Structure 1
Amino acid sequence: MMLVALLWLALFFETLESLSFTPTIISCQPTTTTTSPSPLFASSVNDVTSESIQELNGRERITITLPPFAAMNQRDACQYPSVLHHLHIQSLLSQEEASKACQMAHDFAASTGRWLKPDSERHQSYATCDFPVEDCETLQDFLDEVDFDGRLFKSLSDLYNIEMEDLSYLDLFVAHYQAKTDNNDNPQIMDRLEAHRDGSILAFSLLLNSPDDFEGGGTFYEALRDVPPSFGVLHAGGTIRPQKAGDAVMHCGKILHGADVVTSGSRTVLVGFVDVSERCQRPGVLSEACKEWGRVDVVKYRFERQESKGHQGWLSNNSKFFHGDASSSAVKGFLPALQGVIRRNNPELCRRRRLEAEDVLLRNILLPSEERSNDVFDGDISILDINFEDDPSEA
């Protein structure tokens, strides 16, 4: 009886789930013509012709907007696109400055061996062959000399409507990707980085060496996978490849992205994770997105666990409570897999659920300027009301 009850209970929840889970997806399949541009790009490039697109390639900045994925009611429609839906390609260093920085980075890496294997101590989940800028004194001094921080934070402030005092580095490092050719016998070099999300709200990747030094590479964005190539920087598969050294791709770090494979040569990039003060963030939005991403990961884990056991079902752990000899049971302690686990593990459905949660996050994580607290330090700085002149012993 207990086994029958368990089977009926499983069937009940399976039926309930199939009735309640009806995700709504907005298609991200834009069409491309020279007279009717895709609606997925930023308003600054709307209503452009092929001639004006060529002019855009010569401008200082190119902006690309992620398509919407989450279902939108009237209020949500007003929130799309948010500033975080925009990816910006902009020159932050001249080609000469980038070349100098690249040489300094290569000299330091050659003397320390920092590009021979991934640094799993600093980046445990998604390690890269890299070193922090602060470890290379010559590179740090050079970036200070050209006021790189000022250029970067001013651009991020203007583009994402965040005050410069609300921006700070979470990490700043130089990463190196090298093609795994027959001429290289080091199995630990990296030629790509799988899709991931950064630990910071904002991030950037700046190309230090010339695009002529390698083939492939670039940063791919899962949300742009189905968007047609454009502007000479957006390639198939949602990969953005800057056209010259010194160009940076700036984006929200919570957008699912990775480094596309370098098929020949090597690619060197200056990467930064930029934190945004909590006073600018709407509480709970990031945690809700993480819950949604986690639910998708759990579904994958459950399905892979079932497959690893050589069947699509669960072995019961409580067979000792069955009446009689459990080994003689008709099902031998085996419960069939819920179809919801199999259905939700569909790769395309998993992808879209992740992108839905990402879309909602991008629309809501940043508070409007008028709703932000006046405490730019988030309460991290305490002011001591002590007059040391009156009582020297307090010093």
Structure 2
Amino acid sequence: MLHALLSAACSFKLPALDLKLPSPSLAEDGRFGGGGYATALRVCADVLSSPNDSGGWRELGTLLHGKGRLDASAMALRRATQIEPLDSEAHVALAEVWLTEVASEEECEWVIATAEEHNAAKGGWACRQPRFAPEGTVANAVRAPDMLVADEPRLLAWLNEKCDHTILPALEAQFGIPARELWLYDTFLLKLGVHVDDDGFGLSFNVLLSDPADFEGGGTRFPPNAFSSEEAVYTPRRGQMLSHYGGLRHASVPCTGGLRYIMVGFVRAERLVELRLEDAAYGARTGER
């Protein structure tokens, strides 16, 4: 059976990944029955025998990633998400960043004005963190003015409407997790120059509220990662939401002039918490970090 499956690969889907499959004669050789070679044979056979099983493609993508075949790995993982849009593990493994239009210029102006009105009535913006200190800051020496969206009823009502009609549906499409399983557990406005956030247990998003002409610098920087050997910097348009898996390493690009207002939110899903805990347990067993 394995001989036939591997032979069929020449005319099936795996050549699109530019894979050099093991020869059928070696596949049937008892000397190659263990270790990583046997795993590769099994994974290829699983994909060939069940091409519509997202789990097989996800496992193939993970295997290729471990071998440094990043392009082929991404193709296999995307195939998993095409077959099963709710395969959240494959979506997370792809570690993609999305930009989605969620607010008009007029809405952004209103959010900023409402936030300023709210904080002026309180005597000024708060600086609560430590979480918004620039990367590398010693003893949290720099703090960014911020406010919880939930503290202003009008902003909270606006955000809830956006979550129902735009934000959560966009995250569902990006990460394959039904919107009904997602919950927003923290959202705040920042009036800042630079910040770093890293939540490894959920999804992160930020919405640019300011006109880019009102500040210099800014954006979100993603260092090289599993699927990209180059650094990427995203500079959303006004009203765009930038969203990504919280465990994806990222940092703010410093704002070198003017004021930049953004809305930052963190979203939880039980399956992502479980996935992260499984990863942590695996790392503890193997010594990996």
TM-score, L = length of structure 2: 0.59
1:258 matched to which residue of 2? 251
2:125 matched to which residue of 1? 115
Per-residue deviation at 1:290? 7.2
Report SS of the residue matched to 2:97.
strand
1:274 aligns with 2:267: yes
Deviations 1:224-262 (A, max 9, x none): 6963xxxxxxxxx5221112x210101001111111100
Task: State the alpha-carbon separation in 2 of the partners of residues 114 and 199 from structure 1.
Answer: 31
Structure 2's unaligned 5+ residue stretches are 1-62, 79-89, 134-138
Deviations 1:309-331 (A, max 9, x none): xxxxxxxxxxxxxxxxxxxxxxx
Task: State the alpha-carbon separation in 1 of the partners of residues 131 and 122 from structure 2.
Answer: 16
User: Paired residue for 2:98, among 67, 88, 92?
Assistant: 88
Per-residue deviation at 1:120? 2.5
Label 1:223 to 1:108 Cα distance change in 2 as closer, same or farther (>3 A). Answer: farther
Structure 1's unaligned 5+ residue stretches are 1-67, 178-190, 228-236, 296-352, 358-395
Task: State the alpha-carbon separation in 1 of the partners of residues 107 and 64 from structure 2.
Answer: 39
Could you say which structure has the higher helix fraction? 2
Per-residue deviation at 1:114? 5.3
Report SS of the residue matched to 1:268.
strand
Task: State the alpha-carbon separation in 1 of the partners of residues 254 and 150 from structure 2.
Answer: 27
Per-residue deviation at 1:128? 4.1
Deviates more, 1:269-278 or 1:121-130: 121-130
1:130 aligns with 2:146: yes
1:99 aligns with 2:109: yes
Per-residue deviation at 1:121? 7.0
Per-residue deviation at 1:288? 4.6
1:166 aligns with 2:181: yes
Report if aligned partners of 2:195, 2:251 keep a CA contact under 8 Å in 1: yes
The higher radius of gyration belongs to 1
Computed over aligned residues only, the root mean square deviation of the Cα atoms, in angstroms, reads: 3.5
1:220 matched to which residue of 2? 221
Per-residue deviation at 1:284? 4.0
Per-residue deviation at 1:103? 1.2
Deviations 1:119-150 (A, max 9, x none): 12787998643111011122123334xx1111
Which amino acid in 2 is paired with 1:212?
A
Label 1:121 to 1:283 Cα distance change in 2 as closer, same or farther (>3 A). Answer: closer
TM-score, L = length of structure 1: 0.44
Report SS of the residue matched to 2:213.
helix
Alignment of 1:182-193 (within 5 A): 191-193=193-195
Task: State the alpha-carbon separation in 2 of the partners of residues 172 and 95 from structure 1.
Answer: 20
Deviations 1:19-61 (A, max 9, x none): xxxxxxxxxxxxxxxxxxxxxxxxxxxxxxxxxxxxxxxxxxx
Task: State the alpha-carbon separation in 2 of the partners of residues 280 and 199 from structure 1.
Answer: 9
Which amino acid in 1 is paired with 2:169?
K
Label 1:217 to 1:122 Cα distance change in 2 as closer, same or farther (>3 A). Answer: closer
User: Paired residue for 2:171, among 156, 159, 162?
Assistant: 156
1:183 matched to which residue of 2? none
Which amino acid in 2 is paired with 1:192?
V
Report if aligned partners of 1:218, 1:242 keep a CA contact under 8 Å in 2: yes
Deviates more, 1:153-162 or 1:105-114: 105-114
Which amino acid in 1 is paired with 2:67?
M
Report SS of the residue matched to 1:86.
coil
1:241 aligns with 2:235: yes
Report SS of the residue matched to 1:119.
coil
Which amino acid in 1 is paired with 2:117?
D
Task: State the alpha-carbon separation in 2 of the partners of residues 138 and 106 from structure 1.
Answer: 13
User: Paired residue for 1:139, among 137, 140, 155?
Assistant: 155
